[in-house]
Structure 1
């Protein structure tokens, strides 16, 4: 009788568990290891919704981390940034260019600053960000609203943070590069919800 009650309680517990919708997690599977990211839809609702739509559509399957910024590959008179950038640009460029830009959510709005492990969207003008994202290594205040790393001072749209796999991010960061591009690019096998 006790065994049956224990089995019932175990099954009940697992059937009642819900996925965390307040801060969903995604996993980036790469050829250097896996990276888990926690997303913040309450702070950056438009950015997270768009990113998850790309994840759910399989857009990131067989893509790459293709760009790196470090102290050595940036002009000496420019504000320095440390990050790795990935997405569809190198592997599925035609698809990437057809995606509509996301309304820009600044760090002034979201209160998520560019610190170690924070994930943000790459862009040209405000509202042009789509599938390309980057992960910060260390504090990067020049990428925040009002920061000196972008002429319009609107900064970049932060929307999540690495919660597991910063060792993988650092391993990717140290890979061979030429003129800010990984040589060869680092394969992203997939990005999926957890």
Structure 2
């Protein structure tokens, strides 16, 4: 099945008046357990179509969570891991998708990462909100597009990922010149880090695949996601400089705007 990008933005806005959010169901298959996400096909159609293009192409196979910020987000979708060579590489990005800031960045929602000061720059990277992040993410950079919701006991798996140790695994000693400054790892100790033990499949939080379980657009009529609080907040685009992440840079600026001190569980390297 080919998921074309339909120009349904106007229709999506019209559906907001008392209509439930309809959702394709996808399953994230990870080494820490599988969880399901319902996608908001009818109200964020461009973003869902964009995401499903990567799914259909197999681009999310053997990828990994490359960023973890306690109490804020876990992020993936940008990098593949070569299981034989233990090397990371970037997923080629498709054309950027138009911003669709319909829903609020609440705990358990999945949203698109994007570049600073560029609302329509989301490509392949996404993040899952660990908390109610609406106070900054609903307005910053004209709002971060929430396009789905983790369902069932899925957040127990996400919380387990968020509880892992994390550290800076960028640079020649580890996984190359990538923004892995807050990457979660499994079974990896401080001594391992100090001795620059190579990061392997046994250490990363691998996403083996993302698959469509039910392609129907009305699989979750009982979903009732909160609408974006963008109009309730001041500041419009929100912030300046590296105020929003995505692409190859991640959510760098969001760390400061979230008011979170990045707690390094591994010693900073010179």
TM-score norm. by structure 1 comes to: 0.73
Distance 1:157 1:51 in 2: 12
CA distance in 2, matches of 1:64, 1:182: 9
More helix by share: 1
> How far apart, in 2, do the equivalents of 1:193 and 1:143 lie?
31
Once the two structures are superposed, the pairs formed by residues 144-155 of structure 1 within 5 Å of their partners are: 144-146=137-139, 150=140, 152=141, 154-155=142-143
Q: 1:168 to 1:186 in 2, by over 3 A?
A: same
Of structures 1 and 2, the one scoring higher in RCO (CA 8 A, sep 6+) is 1
Residue by residue, what CA displacement relative to the aligned partner does 1:32-85 show, whole Å, maximum 9, x if unpaired?
A: 0011000101110100011111111111000011101125xxxxxxxxxx1110
RMSD: 1.7
Higher strand share: 1
**May I ask how many residue pairs the two structures share in their alignment?**
153
Compared CA separation, residues 143 and 58, structure 1 to 2 (3 A): farther
Q: Are residues 185 and 142 of structure 1, via their aligned partners in 2, closer, same or farther at CA, if it must alter by over 3 Å?
A: farther
| Unpaired stretches in structure 1, ≥5 consecutive residues | 1-21, 72-81
Task: Give the C-alpha shift of residue 28 in structure 1.
Answer: 0.2
Q: Which runs of 4+ in 1 moved over 6 A?
A: none
Secondary structure in 2 matching 1:24: strand
Bigger radius of gyration among the two? 1
Distance across 1 between alignment mates of 2:209 and 2:95: 22
Runs of at least 5 residues in structure 2 that lack an aligned partner in the other structure: 1-21, 82-87, 168-180, 186-202, 214-270
Displacement after TM superposition at 1:93 (Å) = 4.3
Superposition TM-score, scaled by structure 2 size: 0.53
Task: Give secondary structure in 1 for the equivalent of 2:127.
Answer: strand
Cα deviation, residue 143, structure 1? 4.2
Check the 8 A contact 1:59/1:88 in 2, yes or no: no
Asked if the contact 2:60–2:80 (Cα under 8 Å) also holds between the matched residues in 1, the reply is no
2:237 is aligned to: none
- Alignment partner of 2:158 out of 161, 164, 169: 169
1:105 and 2:119 matched? no
* Cα separation, 2, equivalents of 1:62 and 1:90: 6
